[in-house]
Chain A
Amino acid sequence: MKAFHIIFLFIFPSFFLQEQTLPKNQVGMVHFEGSIEASDIDEDEMMKKVVSYVSTIKKVSKYRPEVAVNYQNGQVVNKGSFYVYTQGLITRQIHGEIIYSIKLDVNEGAFTYSFSDFVFQYYQRNRYGKYAPIRGKTKRLEEERFVGMQRIWENHKLTTKNVIEAHISALESLAKSTEVKENATTVNGKK
């Protein structure tokens, strides 16, 4: 009976997992949005801080578009992405990349944030032993089922939630802080 339980756990680990719920908009797409009050900081200074922060958001690919800033509308747009992993026998291994869009609108006394368009990009080890994207093979984060990998899929959603919530916390801190980072870095980490 014990052996049966071990086999069952080995083959069907997805039976013992907790489904992750991510915030969604009216049309059912994963969407983190909100407004942060910044009444102590003037609009220009806030814009500067927001651009600085959004520019530092990490992206995996070297070629994704850099941050787009519209000073007239007070809008900052960018793409972010991060690796998600599976735990191998000894070390973690890249399973894919979560890619998402960022939009921030800076107004007098407040700014709004929106994180949307979450997509999982599948990765695989390539012929040279390195992990690389499988071009064109993606899965939207709204999808609930990942047959055979449900537990990992829920972990990826949890990781996404943690990453985005960390961004939101950082933006909230930004609104409270009066210090402006002068040495802004670009998306690729270069000054």
Chain B
Amino acid sequence: MKKISLLLYLLLASAITLQAQVDSVASKGELTISGYVDAYYQYNFNKPASGLNQGRIFDTPHNSFSLGLVQTVFTYTRDRLSVVADLTFGPNADLGNFGNEGTSRIIKQAYISYDVSEKVNFTIGQFGTHIGYELIDAPLNYNYSLSYLFGNGPFYHTGAKLDFALSEKVGLMIGVLNGWDGLQDFNDKKSVAAQISFAPVEGLGIYLNWIGGDEYNTESNFGDSEGSYTSLFDLTTSYQATPSFLVGLNAAYGSFKTGADSPSAFDPWSKDATWSGAALYANYAINDGFGLGVRGEYFSDPDGVRYFGPIEVTAVTVTGNITLADGRFLVKPELRLDSTKENFFEDSDGNGKKSQATLGAAFIYSF
């Protein structure tokens, strides 16, 4: 770990030296304020006794008008420097920043980014994860309800990273982080993050992502065995085949190696485990005002080391995308069908069920 940190510091030092050779481009600073508000309604045909949709991260209430999130993003850019404060409020903000307390809970992202040279950027602070296809920000996702891959991956990291534009078509990122979804470091171990990105042809973006580290802690989702190791590989791609048609693929494979001396039937983190999944996306814009998107997903966490306990699930989501008010107002009607091997969902009597169907609509206003 120390070697990796040292490497990162050396990379930064060399990049700063490079900076001296580059002329500064003076420009006026610019502040941009943007954000969104979203609300939704969803009906679960199982009529779950608990009133909650199962297997969902954010959109859990059944038959209830619900508020998603209120976001305000402040972005200030001047010359080589960018400062981003991405503040969120509401139910989804609480879920996205779980574990944080007080005013820290409203910070989705807060970081400083500096262009060391034209091809090297340094970032420090709390920033969104590089892992995964979908995001917390509802206007940036095609489907409103989020995938299992999103829900079982990290949301954000706190740390430092370097981005290298190796060429017009290849990028590299390497970072040292406190860990997963934590403002503070839960232990004295750092995680390492990496990303290689390719843009071989116009419209195609391929991102190979990884995060790995010893994340043992009594408060984390990875058990409390010192000496454990969690690794997550992620492939995120999208191809804008035509201006109207986009296909995307997200696949992930995670592994957890326990540091426990012996396995326990009551502690899922006392034995080695893996989880994986893949999601395929296809979106078609009939025109700039209306489009249709389909997501098909498979996810498996046989040992239940992630959020939902042991699960093997497939899900199909069909979402309409209606754009109004100069592109600021999005209406997303959505139908989603989930099915599992074992009884995972809930019926009106509180009994287990192998499938769940929901129908609803989300309303998102961006400002």
Contact = CB atoms under 8 A, between A and B. Distances in A.
Residue of A146, A149, A189, A191 with highest tally of chain B CB at under 10 A: A149
Interface in A132-167: 134-139, 145-149, 151-152
Interface string A117-134: 000000011111111001
B289 A148 contact: yes
Contacts of A152: 326-327
Given A129-B73, A135-B240, A137-B240, A91 B32 contact: yes
B73 A147 contact: no
B140 A125 contact: yes
B25 interface: yes
Contact of B109 (A129, A136, A189, A191): A129
A88 B205 contact: no
Contacts of B239: 136
Interface in B110-165: 111, 113, 118, 127-130, 135, 137, 139-140, 165
B214 interface: no
A125 B82 CA distance: 14
Interface range on chain A (Cβ under 8 Å from partner)? 35 or more
A149 B323 contact: yes
A86 B243 contact: no
B33 interface: yes
B84 A11 contact: no
Residue of A11, A138, A145, A148 with highest tally of chain B CB at under 10 A: A148
A105 B204 CA distance: 36
B326 A86 contact: yes
Given A127-B128, A190-B23, A89 B367 contact: yes
B99 interface: no
Given A91-B32, A148-B288, A125 B137 contact: yes
A178 to B, nearest CB: 29
B37 to A, nearest CB: 11
Contacts of B137: 125, 127
A89 B86 CA distance: 16
B128 A148 contact: no
A139 B327 CA distance: 15
B326 A130 contact: no
Contacts of B109: 128-129
Given A90-B33, A91-B31, A128-B84, A135 B205 contact: yes
A88 B328 CA distance: 9
B80 to A, nearest CB: 12
Contact of B243 (A127, A138, A147, A188): A138
Interface SS of B by simple majority: strand
Interface string A30-66: 0000000000000000000000000000000011000
Contacts of B246: 137
A123 to B, nearest CB: 12
B89 interface: no
Nearest to A146: B288
Contacts of B127: 128
A191 B63 CA distance: 63
A98 B137 CA distance: 26
A147 B75 contact: no
Contact of A89 (B33, B84, B111, B140): B33
B325 interface: yes
B349 interface: no
A139 B243 contact: yes
Contacts of A130: 75, 82, 84
A114 interface: no
Interface of B: 22-23, 25, 31-34, 73, 75, 82, 84, 86, 109, 111, 113, 118, 127-130, 135, 137, 139-140, 165, 168, 199, 202-205, 238-241, 243, 246, 287-290, 323-327, 329, 367
Minimum-distance CB pairs A-B, first 9: A136-B203, A136-B240, A147-B289, A89-B367, A148-B289, A63-B168, A148-B323, A147-B288, A90-B33
